Structure 1
Amino acid sequence: MLDERDRKILSLLQADADRPVNEIADAVALSASACSRRIARLREEGYILRSTLELDRGKMGLPTTVFVIVRTGSHAADWLEKFHAAVATIPEIVEVHRLTGNFDYIIKIVLPNVEHYDVVYKQLVGRIELFDMSAYISMETVKASRGLPTHYA
C-alpha cells in the first residue's frame, strides 16, 4: 500500500527519473537514505518498472504522427500471433491498442513526414492481411502525458 510520500516520490520520478535522490528527499521531507530505501522498495514491489529517457521527436527527425484504425477479418490465434509479430518489427509503430466497438486496433506511428506513411503501410500489409485500414494525420498534440496518476494505488 502506498502512502502520500510514496505517491509524491513516484510523481517526481515520473517527471524526471534523473532527479537526484537528495532533491526528492527534500521534496517529501525525508533523509536521502530513507528516500533511497523507499525508491528501492517501490522498484522491488513493481511500482517502478524501468527508467527510460524521452527523445525529442523533432530533433530525431520524426515530427509527424499518424493514427491508423484497423479492422481485421480474422480473430484466430495464428492471425493474432502474426499481427503482433508484424507490428513489433516496424520501429515507426510506437503503440498498438486492441479496441472494443467497430474497430479492432488503433496504431500510433511516428514518421519523418506524411509521405513516409506509405513505406510503413507497405511493410505492414506485406506481413499481415487486414480487412480495412484508415489513416488519420495528427495536426496537433493537445496533451501527451507520460506519467500516470498516482492516487489510485
Structure 2
Amino acid sequence: METDPVNARILTELQRDATIPLDELGTRVGLSRNACWRRVKQMEDAGIIRGRVALLDPNKIGLGLTVFIQIRTNSHTPDWLERFVKATRELPEILGAYRMTGDLDYLVHARVRDVAAYDALYQRLIRRVDMSDCSASFVMEEIKETTALPV
C-alpha cells in the first residue's frame, strides 16, 4: 500500500496521539470522519498500523536503567537461534533483540530497575543460551528516544 501525503499526515498524527477522535483526526488532515476511518482501516489491514499502545514513562514505573547487551556466539545453528529467539521473547525486560553485521552477532535492548536487576536478567539469559562473549553498556543519559517513524 502506498503512503500518500494524506496517509503520511494521518500516520504522523496517530504517532503523536493514537487516542485522537476520528473527527479531530479528519479535521487535522483535511478529510471527513468516514474517509479518515477508511484510510486508517486500510492501513491497519495492510499492516502499516500494527497496533495502538500507551507509552509509559519507564522511570515512573521503576525501570530507570537502559541496557544495551552485546552478544557474540560461536554457534550459528538454527537450534541456537531458536533458543535465543525464544529466550529474548520470553524475558519481559528485553525490549528489542537484533542480529547484527560486523564483529557483533546480536544487540539486545533492555530496561531494568538497576544493576542488580540487570545481573538477574543476565543470569536468566545465560542459563537459556550459550554465548562466547556477552557485555553490557548502561545508558548514562537518554538524549533522544522515540517511537515515531519519519513518514
Same fold flag (TM > 0.5): yes
Q: Percent identity?
A: 39
Runs of 4 or more above 3 Å deviation: none
| Residue 136 (structure 1) aligned with residue 132 (structure 2) | no
In 1: Cα distance, 2:22 partner to 2:50 partner? 18
Partner of 1:101: 102
Partner of 1:60: 61
In 1: Cα distance, 2:3 partner to 2:74 partner? 44
Partner of 1:7: 8
Which range moved further: 86-95 or 121-130? 86-95
Partner of 2:42: 41
Partner of 2:25: 24
Q: CA RMSD in A?
A: 1.0
Deviation at 1:34, TM superposition (A): 1.5
Per-residue CA distance 1:65-96 (angstroms, 9 max, x = gap): 11110000100111111111112221111111
Partner of 1:83: 84
In 1: Cα distance, 2:89 partner to 2:29 partner? 40
In 2: Cα distance, 1:43 partner to 1:67 partner? 31
Q: Amino acid of the residue matched to residue 39 of structure 1?
A: V
Deviation at 1:44, TM superposition (A): 1.8
Q: Amino acid of the residue matched to residue 33 of structure 2?
A: A
Q: Amino acid of the residue matched to residue 143 of structure 1?
A: K
* TM-score (normalised: structure 1): 0.93
Deviation at 1:115, TM superposition (A): 2.0
Q: Amino acid of the residue matched to residue 86 of structure 1?
A: A
Deviation at 1:50, TM superposition (A): 1.3
Deviation at 1:2, TM superposition (A): 2.4
Q: Amino acid of the residue matched to residue 44 of structure 1?
A: D
Q: Amino acid of the residue matched to residue 116 of structure 1?
A: A
**When the two structures are aligned, how many residues end up with a matched partner?**
150
Which range moved further: 102-111 or 29-38? 29-38
Partner of 1:145: 146
* TM-score (normalised: structure 2): 0.95
In 2: Cα distance, 1:116 partner to 1:2 partner? 42
Unaligned runs of 5+ in 2: none
In 2: Cα distance, 1:140 partner to 1:99 partner? 24
